[in-house]
Chains A and B, each alone.
Chain A
């Protein structure tokens, strides 16, 4: 957090010096999760690599802060704005202001309800697709065996929970041998994942009846892995574990053989965003309205130890 503050100060004070470079304002939601912190870190890295001068603003979960940050970017005449919107509604007027100032806006990670004309493009992952990748992995790995799956859902009613569940179900639809037998919310937290997994184990004969676990995020999977270990079940062997996000600790678990696969939700949303912006600045190429990031599947074969090392300092 302190790092962030210093960087902000630096961005503000030295911004003017690099006059020739492109200047991009980035309004981030906050630092409520490790993933978000990593997104911030990677955005900075990407900007630096491309010689872009990044002005960063942390909204601390408040839309008012984001709107005023955007107004200040507009007033400073930046060349583009990256916005990770905290909520979906209420952006129309500030997006119009940006448009009038001819500043392209790229949405990161989340969408808004405003008209598509008001922003250049949105970079994000496809939540349904993530679920499908996870489900497909399971389908490919169980073969014809009977497989009873338990599912740890995200926070009830949240869109990642709904969509990842839907994607997973799409993927296993054709395989009659795979069945979701229990599904409960673990609120995206480790404690939640652990507590719910304990109850699954109780309910499913100490884990003997469970063939695989699908968790809507890695943190719940990590909690569940602990629950299994404590109950004498061997995660990764007795129960296959597949989850989504790709946080460093799940790579560590894969390296230890406790987890089997994860689908990465890349925090590098800025890379594709800057690519699109460069093309736009150069010759006015308008990108598609949605740029889908890759939802890459990592398994134990993908050198998880190295992946862990690569990620552990990103701020997760």
Chain B
């Protein structure tokens, strides 16, 4: 356990620092009250609003660990949200709505995984296809409008709460814990890391890297499905145009803030989830602080930059390496990688 804490310590410190910063601008930030049987407060809002990115980040962490990337999760979210709204309006009931959404997410993942693992297309290109086409698919399902529904059961996944804790929060925490247990209590985590670091060597060691890759993209699609369900349930309608728009980038950012390398290999889901909360704290903090909205993106970018710089003790050698690689021989850059990566 202390090992896990040690791994996520930078993220925890960042989060604490951010919360302190927001408290300066909004003194009641940490206040949590209990009213009408639910917890209320900015921190609770963060835990709830951060759900879609947190959910996407779970799957994205796995994909990135295999040295891939999944740009399609935002569009997949829209598709799955549309499926659930459509299913509920078509009378398939709650189970139907969740089932269709999850199936759609798995199917999207299967598509991506097949392109990457079977046809050998670069992940960024392979998932770009669904990223651009996916929203069109979602629009076909919603017929271009916001498909609203009136079903308290489904809406519960967006705005309900159990013992005062918002459902979206419960969902991402639960899925995060489940996936983390799944990869760490079995050998999946090790095998995923191995194919991310050296797929050739891993395949030669007898790892079924093809199936594993497909499974990882499907896991990402599954997480996107839940993100889509939460987003759709939240506004009681599927907005094919806007649901999950650009969230793939926030998800990738969450993974990176979580200290996971885009070059694959070692990963920590807990750290990515903290990364998602860091992003949401920034977003919510900006809203609470009440600056003019023109500053939103600038403030966010500046904070993210500061976080990434501070979390990277290797910054200096890494810069040196990039400079060396720019000017120097191929040999120069590669050799130092190991040392700098330490």
* Interface residues, chain A, with chain B CB atoms under 8 Å away: 1-2, 31-34, 37, 153, 156-157, 182-185, 187-192, 194-196, 198-199, 202-203, 206, 219, 222-223, 226, 230-232, 249, 315-316
Contacts and interface: CB of A to CB of B under 8 A. Distances in A.
B288 A203 contact: yes
A191 B231 contact: yes
A31 B139 contact: yes
List 10 A-B pairs, minimum CB-CB distance, nearest first.
A199-B287, A185-B293, A190-B235, A34-B145, A189-B242, A31-B144, A37-B144, A156-B293, A184-B293, A230-B159
B236 interface: yes
Most B CB within 10 A of own CB, among A31, A156, A189, A199: A199
Contacts of B242: 187-192
B176 to A, nearest CB: 21
A1 B290 contact: no
A1 B287 contact: no
Contacts of A184: 287, 290, 293, 296
Nearest to B155: A226
Contacts of A34: 144-146
Nearest to A252: B148
A231 B36 CA distance: 9
Contacts of A315: 143-145
B157 to A, nearest CB: 13
B234 A194 contact: yes
Contacts of B249: none
A32 B284 CA distance: 28
* Best-buried of B145, B288, B296 by chain A (most CB within 10 Å): B145
A87 B41 CA distance: 42
Interface in B194-238: 231, 234-237
A2 B140 CA distance: 8
A1 B143 contact: yes
B239 interface: yes
Contact of A199 (B146, B235, B236, B284): B284
Contacts of B231: 191
Nearest to B235: A190
B35 A232 contact: yes
Contacts of A157: 294
B267 to A, nearest CB: 29
A183 B148 CA distance: 27
In this complex, the member of A153, A182, A226, A315 whose beta carbon has the largest number of chain B beta carbons within 10 angstroms is: A226
Choose among A2, A156, A202, A316 the residue with the greatest number of B CB atoms under 10 Å from its CB. A202
B321 interface: no
